């Protein structure tokens, strides 16, 4: 899958951009604060309709403007012309001129995996970051998962609101409990199954990047070990004290370990970084295996944080995706990677929000 055209208007510091890209490895060069990350953010936004910086769309509108536009031509099994206009009071998303009303109909039109500074949260951050990683990948690969997650989250919200009351109606709590159990059990099964498949890919990926590789292991640690309905019933008394739902997939954890030790607690910065990259590479590989073509890789300033040995290990993994009909967008502040990059590179210069082809 690749993006052959990108058109942006008033997207952060990018006033106007119209670019055509070939498949393969695209390097975006530029000094600090020129718009490199903004461009990757735009491609990611076209794929997911949200920013990887965890902000709302209002912040994306170029200062003093009223709306932004992002559009592109995605080439996968079919050709999709995506047009996305966003202002605080009007949103319009079309594919091949057909309005997209439900996000689930749209997701999958363009698939990306992003490598960015925020990835450190996968190792260092709260369990929520890791649940989000699993949920995003399941959304991208399992039809119906997003709806399941929505139903679970809605039931959880209603149930928690009830538990906050002084004397909640037990029959009403029971009805939300049933909804929670019905959807929650399916979430647990899907997450367990995914972790089983990802775990060997991550172990292998980590070994390829690190020179003296440790054994990288991920384990799914669900918040409930037995039946969800039984656990919920057992926690009712405690729930009344805490006034919230204490067990269930919203409290699941994904444990990351290096040679059997918790990565968050014992790993060095470089090891953590490598682990986060291995998680993302596994995401890309798994997506490619399910959909038959690799996703677009968006790599933001990752090289600077790894030593030469690890960079050399990572490069072949990335450029493999860039070959065939895959596509990689990688930002750099300087051309400090000769020898590490193979094959044909497409170089772009980005300066004050303008993109220029260099070769």
Q: Which does 112 bind (CB under 5 to 8 A by kind): Mg ion, ligand ATP, none?
A: none
Contacting ligand ATP (CB under 6 A), which of 17, 24, 29, 62?
A: 62
Smaller CB distance to ligand ATP: residue 173 or 297? 297
In this structure, the dihedral spanned by the alpha carbons of residues 137, 142, 147 and 151, taken in order and rounded to 10 degrees, is -80
Segment interacting with ligand ATP, rule: CB under 6 A, options 60-68, 97-105, 153-161, 241-249: 60-68
Site string for ligand ATP, 21-50 (x = CB under 6 A): ---------x-xxxxxxx------------
**Taking CB under 5 A as the rule, does residue 34 contact Mg ion?**
no
Side-chain-side CA neighbours of 108 within 13 Å: the count stands at: 19
Asked if residue 17 lies in contact with residue 40, where contact means CB atoms within 8 angstroms, the answer is no
Q: Residue 49 CB, nearest distance to Mg ion (Å)?
A: 21
Smaller CB distance to ligand ATP: residue 13 or 104? 13
Q: Residue 141's closest CA among 191, 100, 202?
A: 191
Segment interacting with Mg ion, rule: CB under 5 A, options 31-39, 142-150, 189-197, 223-231: 31-39
How far apart are alpha carbons 314 and 300 in whole angstroms? 14
**Taking CB under 6 A as the rule, does residue 52 contact ligand ATP?**
no
Contacting Mg ion (CB under 5 A), which of 37, 112, 140, 274?
A: 37
How far apart are alpha carbons 50 and 53 in whole angstroms? 9
Asked if residue 10 lies in contact with residue 61, where contact means CB atoms within 8 angstroms, the answer is yes
**Taking CB under 5 A as the rule, does residue 177 contact Mg ion?**
no
Task: Provide the greatest CA pair distance for the chain.
Answer: 70
**Taking CB under 6 A as the rule, does residue 333 contact ligand ATP?**
yes
Label the pairing between strands 345-351 and 354-357. antiparallel
How far apart are alpha carbons 74 and 52 in whole angstroms? 19
Q: Which does 154 bind (CB under 5 to 8 A by kind): ligand ATP, Mg ion, none?
A: none
Which residues lie near Mg ion (CB under 5 A)?
A: 36-37
């Amino acid at each position: 899958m690749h993006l052959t055209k990108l058109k942006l208007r008033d997207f952060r510091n990018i006033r106007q951009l119209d670019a055509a890209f070939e498949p393969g490895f695209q390097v975006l060069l530029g000094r600090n604060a020129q718009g490199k990350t903004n461009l990757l953010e735009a491609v990611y936004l076209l794929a997911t309709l949200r920013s990887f910086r965890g902000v709302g769309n209002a912040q994306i509108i170029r200062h003093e403007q009223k709306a932004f536009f992002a559009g592109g031509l995605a080439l996968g099994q079919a050709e999709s012309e995506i047009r996305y206009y966003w202002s605080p009071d009007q949103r319009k998303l079309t594919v091949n001129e057909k309005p997209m009303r439900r996000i689930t109909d749209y997701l999958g039109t363009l698939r990306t995996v992003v490598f960015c500074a925020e990835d450190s949260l996968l190792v260092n951050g709260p369990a929520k970051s890791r649940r989000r990683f699993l949920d995003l990948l399941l959304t991208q690969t399992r039809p119906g998962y997003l709806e399941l997650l929505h139903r679970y989250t809605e039931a959880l919200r209603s149930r928690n609101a009830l538990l906050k009351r002084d004397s909640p109606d037990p029959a009403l709590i029971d009805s939300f409990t049933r909804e929670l159990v019905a959807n929650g059990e399916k979430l647990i099964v899907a997450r367990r199954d995914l972790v089983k498949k990802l775990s060997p890919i991550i172990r292998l990926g980590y070994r390829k990047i690190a020179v003296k590789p440790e054994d990288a292991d991920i384990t799914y640690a669900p918040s409930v070990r037995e039946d969800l309905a039984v656990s919920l019933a057992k926690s009712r008394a405690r729930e009344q004290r805490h006034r919230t739902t204490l067990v269930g997939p919203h409290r699941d954890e994904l444990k990351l370990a290096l040679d059997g030790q918790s990565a968050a607690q014992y790993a060095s910065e470089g090891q953590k970084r490598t682990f986060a990259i291995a998680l993302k590479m596994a995401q890309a590989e798994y997506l490619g295996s399910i959909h038959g073509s690799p996703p677009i890789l968006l790599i933001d300033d990752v090289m600077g944080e790894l030593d030469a040995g690890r960079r050399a290990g990572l490069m072949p993994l990335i450029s493999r995706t860039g070959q065939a009909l895959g596509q990689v967008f990688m930002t750099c502040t300087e051309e400090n990677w000769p020898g590490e990059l193979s094959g044909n590179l497409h170089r772009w210069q980005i300066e004050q929000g303008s993109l220029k082809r260099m070769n």
